[in-house]
């Protein structure tokens, strides 16, 4: 089966004065419709930078090389206007910081409506109904009132939920989610993860799920890519990563996860855990 996205030898260099610092050092992966690729790594590993490079979201301080083939076309060769048309219905990205995704001068209702008008060409009444439905799906109370508010009047967690709901409701070919549930409480996170699983299954949306959380990866990812210092340290299914990790960095992440789960099980049994 032909991948909907195939990334080959992706490299990103940072240019500062006369110095060039390699950030991403040759990343390769295929992504298929209806499947999720989990990209795992700690801060500075290059996991977010890779996706921003593919989407053309890096500034002029960075140079990008390699290939990112989407439906037979190389995204890395597209100009800003061509990429803007692809973003949304084709490839949609949920960024980690929701404040950067909303214009502070416009109400939430106007910003959601603009997105739906541009990419889905829906009538005004249907846009309002869809906006309400999205907020309700994202566990947001009083959605009619929330739509009237400006971004600064809402919490970061609420903006994150709106951004996730808006992106998922577009049912894009590819959804890139960069630490999407970091600012969200555990109960809401559980409900939102169910939505991610639903659209992956029902809409056959291909996903790239970027996180440092092995627990989140275990729920959604079909394949896992572990990144460390700009290179792929390990790859495989979640089970393979947990049981047969080849790289010392990956084994360290797995050991940390197992230690946390062990403490959690002891705590649930009402037992005191001694620090090692």
Q: Decide if 27 is inside a domain.
A: yes
Nearest to 243 by CA among 233, 222, 258, 261: 258
> What does the pLDDT average to over 234-259?
85
Structure confidence at residue 183 as a pLDDT band (50, 70, 90): low
154 three-state secondary structure:
coil
Domain count, the chain: 1
Q: Decide if 275 is inside a domain.
A: no
Least confident of 52-56, 188-192, 195-199, 244-248: 188-192
Q: Decide if 276 is inside a domain.
A: no
Q: Decide if 199 is inside a domain.
A: yes
Percent of the chain's residues with pLDDT above 70: 93
Q: Where are the alpha helices (DSSP H) in the chain?
A: 47-54, 80-86, 108-119, 124-137, 143-147, 156-169, 186-202, 214-220, 238-244, 248-268
d(Cα 250, Cα 233) in Å, to the nearest integer?
Answer: 7
Tokens representing residue 12 in the block: 């990103």
Tokens representing residue 132 in the block: 């309400």
R_g of the chain, CA atoms, integer Å = 20
Structure confidence at residue 129 as a pLDDT band (50, 70, 90): very high
> What does the pLDDT average to over 155-164?
87
Q: Decide if 160 is inside a domain.
A: yes
- What are the φ/ψ torsions at residue 158 (nearest 5 degrees)? -70, -40
Q: Decide if 142 is inside a domain.
A: yes
- Whole-structure pTM value: 0.85
Q: Decide if 273 is inside a domain.
A: no
State the CATH number of the domain containing residue 96: 3.40.50.300
Least confident of 40-49, 70-79, 237-246, 263-272: 263-272
Structure confidence at residue 244 as a pLDDT band (50, 70, 90): confident
Residue 145, number of CB atoms within 10 A of its CB: 10
Tokens representing residue 211 in the block: 């996180």
**Domain limits at 194?**
5-268
Nearest to 213 by CA among 19, 38, 33: 38
* pLDDT tens-digit map of 248-276: 888 888 887 777 666 656 665 665 444 44
Q: Decide if 129 is inside a domain.
A: yes
């Amino acid at each position: 089966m032909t991948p909907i996205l195939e990334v080959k030898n992706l490299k990103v260099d940072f240019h500062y004065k006369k110095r060039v610092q390699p950030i991403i050092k040759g990343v390769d992966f295929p992504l298929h419709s209806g499947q999720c690729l989990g990209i795992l790594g700690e801060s500075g590993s290059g996991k977010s930078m890779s996706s921003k490079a593919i989407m053309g979201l890096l500034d002029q301080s960075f140079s990008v090389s390699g290939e990112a083939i989407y439906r037979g076309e190389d995204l890395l060769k597209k100009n800003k206007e061509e990429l803007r048309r692809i973003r949304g219905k084709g490839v949609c990205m949920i960024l980690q910081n929701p404040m950067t995704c909303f214009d502070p001068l416009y109400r939430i209702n106007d910003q959601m409506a603009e997105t739906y008008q541009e990419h889905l060409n829906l009538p005004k009444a249907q846009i309002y109904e869809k906006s309400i439905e999205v907020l309700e799906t994202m566990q947001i109370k009083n959605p009619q009132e929330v739509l009237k508010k400006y971004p600064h009047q809402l919490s970061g967690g609420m903006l994150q939920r709106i951004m996730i709901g808006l992106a998922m409701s577009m049912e894009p070919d590819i959804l890139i989610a960069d630490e999407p549930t970091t600012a969200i409480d555990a109960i809401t996170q559980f409900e939102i993860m169910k939505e991610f699983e639903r659209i992956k299954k029902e809409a056959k949306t291909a996903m790239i799920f970027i996180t440092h959380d092995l627990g989140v990866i275990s729920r959604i990812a079909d394949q896992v890519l572990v990144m460390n210092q700009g290179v792929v340290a390990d790859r495989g299914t979640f089970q393979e990563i947990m049981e047969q990790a080849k790289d010392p960095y990956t084994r360290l992440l797995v050991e940390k996860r197992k230690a946390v789960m062990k403490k959690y099980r002891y705590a649930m049994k009402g037992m005191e855990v001694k620090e090692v």
